[in-house]
Chain A
């Protein structure tokens, strides 16, 4: 079980409460991590002086210095490789890959090294590292800047993958990810970066990274999603609520290892499951959820499980993004079809 507890001493006054976007929340979490543990270092392109192209690391170089908040040369492979090396020597590096579209050259280091280090040294060397990357579409960016390929990484043993969907949970999840001793891929849905503002208590509390979050409790149907699609999922739940349907909404958040218990328990209760996934259909996370649910809750299902996903095509350029990304109407249609059985 991952250690999610704060290692800092008790604050002498009540923790501060702020209004935060996800960018603010991540910034606060990084600041907290840097403050509580000297071994935490940040690295990435444009993160120090420029504060990151999305401003997630804004102000951190000024506060913690260039030895702990480092601008790297432009090279994802070496960023990943050196993160592995640093992590084995007692540091806790948090590397930023500027966009998920540029993460593929890091795969060799993640797959062949970071996720195997503990296993192949039988625990002697480990990689307590975090690789952060903005991902997903919806900000009208040029090509390659809107990828959702978390499924590729979810196949790799030894890796943890976390995807927050709200500022408050982004804060707690990132703290836990940094404190955890396993390699973590922390994917930040950039469409949510600034589009949601929440009251956030800066209490240094981590959230569990082995558990789903239930955002609404209900009895008639379960909607499961993660990342930016949570917004459309909640909107669909609102509409279903108006029509008299009691909807349970689950935010997966910890994509790998997957907390299928929560999803299965919910499906056993409601008997109906719809999964919403921004990524392309084939072999996305929805496939794994469906496989597990049908293994363990087959007889409790009242309708086949349904998934609302992107198409199996390269994401269209921004002008036609809306065609690709699952919208509220699609979720409603899928839910209604499931309820009609």
Chain B
């Protein structure tokens, strides 16, 4: 009876081993458990004992060869009784195990006599090892939104020949939460109903040529992501654009203060835009006082400090209060309450650039005023003498966004009209 011996897993999870030395030659008798050959793994030199008693008839891998685990190592003919004739030894060690069990020294495991130190790198089980070297590719944090696709595609799962790996079974979904627990097979296809192959989409992997900084989105930018997402998902925004002539006071009056006062005026006339909307409860909290959020651009991001009950602050104090608040924000010393409870907001992006915009209404607020960069506009007028003349006017562009769930177009327009009247009327000091 012949027996093929395959290179075993030596308890180290190795993938392959190098044959170092055969202790028994082809044609020689062997005894079970007698050391057969030594192999070198990734880290250690191990003696492999003979699995059977009988005769070694063929060696499949010679000294120096590297063979994978589970490949054929040797052929034996197996005898019923162990052969007691000593094997012709290649090294003296091969006769060691036919000696009585208590020799003068109790022998530890067969390979202990080597001077090389074993390292299985574990104290239990076997470690799987590898020779492949790979790159670690990953992105930190929030998934990016869906990429626009260049070609339309459809997942047509029910039709067409299957390319599913063949070992299907009746492993219906085990835990009942993953879709219909159907007994019939679900087939995948890369072909649509008319047999055309669907385009394959592959996601680009980061390659070494990509140069990028990974910026974790933290703090105020994170808050901004949340606020803008919430707005996009909930608010039904309308923006009305107009411009107001501020020539009468331009240069003699602070624009921010003027805007604040104007918003308070407009809020008195059309309070609906100075409110909080609770859409789920179908309630509008119409505020009596104005908590005005002023959007402030800083290197750390967007901050919106709130001037609480600004309608009650005397106008001559306003600039000082505004300056204080802005200073706090710029030096990052604002207390947390400073950013809360805004009922309406102003975004004066015009101090940087831009004329008109569609500023974002941030729930639960229902309105926001965007203020653009002042510009000069020529106007024709008739002089007292009846001649057509051109004069230059300083115009302030306004973009009023409001949530149409809370206010009508008319209310929005009226708010803007009131705002513009108040601005035009601003006294010049």
Contact = CB atoms under 8 A, between A and B. Distances in A.
The answer to whether A and B touch in the complex, with CB atoms under 8 Å apart, is yes
Interface of A: 1, 19, 21, 23, 46, 53-55, 138-142, 145, 166-169, 190-191, 193-200, 207-208, 211-220, 222, 239, 241-246, 248, 250-251, 259, 261-262, 265-266, 269, 274, 281, 290, 303-309, 318, 329-330, 332-334, 336-341
B122 A198 contact: no
B133 A217 contact: no
21 contacts: A1-B218, A140-B126, A145-B125, A194-B121, A195-B129, A198-B133, A198-B136, A207-B140, A208-B216, A214-B139, A244-B198, A245-B155, A245-B188, A246-B201, A246-B202, A269-B143, A306-B179, A329-B167, A330-B171, A334-B178, A340-B186
A304 B174 CA distance: 14
A333 B167 CA distance: 11
Contacts, number: 183
Contacts of B179: 303-304, 306, 337-338, 340-341
B89 interface: no
A196 to B, nearest CB: 6
Contacts of B136: 166-169, 198-200
Contacts of B131: 197
B242 interface: no
Interface in B162-196: 163-165, 167, 171, 173-175, 177-180, 186, 188-190
B93 to A, nearest CB: 28
Interface string B112-134: 00000001011111111111111
Interface residues of B, number: 58
Contacts of B129: 21, 194-195
B101 interface: no
Contact of B122 (A53, A245, A329, A336): A53
Nearest to B128: A195
Of B126, B144, B153, B178, which is in contact with the most chain A CB atoms at under 10 Å from its CB? Answer: B178
Contacts of A341: 179-180
Contact of B138 (A54, A169, A191): A169
B147 interface: yes
Contacts of A332: 165
Contact of B173 (A167, A195, A251, A333): A333
A188 B251 CA distance: 67
Interface of B is mostly: loop
A19 B131 CA distance: 11
Interface centre among B127, B155, B201, B203 (most CB of A within 10 A): B127
Nearest to A214: B139
A168 B133 CA distance: 12
A99 B399 CA distance: 64
Contact of B141 (A211, A242, A308): A211
A330 B168 CA distance: 10
Nearest to A220: B155
Nearest to B219: A1
Given A337-B173, A337-B178, 12 more contacts: A142-B125, A194-B121, A196-B134, A214-B138, A217-B143, A262-B141, A265-B142, A265-B143, A269-B143, A269-B145, A318-B125, A330-B171
